[in-house]
């Protein structure tokens, strides 16, 4: 979190993390499409020629004045592919909260687990405790056949009870704004907890 006292701005950084093709960029695209135009920045996507996230996606959202402050949300995604692991860690720097976008398909559970381990490792290396960083689990692609139960996904990722866990079909917008709302609540509560 960064507060500019003179401008009364509160900047919050939220990172969408998850394995390749789990729907992180799709979440940001839906948020962008649903946002009132004068309250959002440009949706920046640093893609490869194959349309995969190379470095990160970025979207800035401006909330109105809240209790005399102007919250600004910085939403990032990280690239899913393993060979971009270095850039995932760099994007995580200074994050206030993480949305873990898991792919619900049974065949992708191993990828979910590996990426969660990578997230915990990167947070630890950045000096943040992975167990206390605000985190929301989004189980995406609930419309596909052969998907794991949400509780099963939660257990395999060793996510403790009490952390929000939401179903989603990001491709048609389901669960996207709900996920964003949950992580913002957690981030604000987490910041108050650090006082």
Partner 1 sequence: MATDLVLPSDLKAKIDIVLDELYRKAQASCVLLLDVGGRLICRTGALDALDATTFAALTAGDMAATTQMAHMLGEKKPFRLLFHEGERQNVYISCVGPSFLLAIVFMAAVKIGLVRLYTGQAVRELIPLAQQFETLQADYEDELSTEFASAVGPELQGLFRPPVA
All residues at 6 or more sequence positions from 136 whose CB lies less than 8 Å from its CB, including other chains: 97, 98, 99, 100, 163, 164, 165, 166, 179, 182, 183, 186
For partner 1, give the closer residue by CB, 133 or 139. 133
DSSP label of 107: G
**First-to-last C-alpha distance (Å) of the chain:** 12
CA distance 44 to 59: 6
CB of 35 to partner 1, least distance (A): 6
CA distance 13 to 88: 14
HSE-CB at 117 with a 13 A cutoff on CA atoms is 8
Positions in the binding site for partner 1 (CB under 8 A): 1-6, 10-11, 13, 34-36, 39-42, 44, 46, 55-56, 58, 60-64, 66-67, 69, 71-72, 74, 76, 86-87, 90-91, 93-96, 128, 173, 177, 180-181, 184-185, 188-189, 191-192, 194-195
For partner 1, give the closer residue by CB, 55 or 147. 55
CA distance 113 to 107: 12
CB of 65 to partner 1, least distance (A): 8
Question: Is the four-CA dihedral 144, 146, 150, 153 of positive or negative sign?
Answer: negative
CB of 170 to partner 1, least distance (A): 13
CA distance 179 to 184: 9
CB of 137 to partner 1, least distance (A): 19
CB of 100 to partner 1, least distance (A): 18
CB of 188 to partner 1, least distance (A): 5
């Amino acid at each position: 979190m960064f507060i500019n006292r003179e401008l009364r701005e509160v900047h919050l950084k939220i990172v969408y993390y998850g394995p390749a093709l789990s729907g992180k960029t799709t979440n940001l695209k839906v948020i962008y499409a649903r946002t009132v135009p004068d309250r959002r920045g440009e949706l920046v996507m640093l893609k490869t020629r194959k349309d995969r996230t190379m470095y990160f996606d970025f979207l800035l959202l401006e909330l109105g004045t809240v209790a005399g402050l102007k919250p600004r949300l910085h939403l990032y995604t990280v690239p899913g592919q393993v060979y971009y692991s270095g850039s995932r860690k760099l994007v995580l720097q200074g994050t206030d909260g993480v949305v873990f976008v898991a792919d619900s398909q049974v065949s992708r559970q191993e990828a979910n687990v590996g990426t969660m381990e990578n997230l915990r490792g990167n947070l630890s290396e950045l000096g943040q405790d992975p167990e206390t960083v605000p985190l929301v689990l989004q189980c995406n692609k609930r419309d596909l056949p052969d998907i794991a139960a949400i509780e099963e996904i939660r257990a395999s990722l060793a996510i403790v009870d009490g952390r929000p866990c939401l179903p989603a079909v990001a491709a048609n917008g389901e669960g996207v704004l709900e996920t964003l709302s949950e992580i913002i609540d957690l981030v604000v509560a987490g910041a108050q907890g650090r006082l």
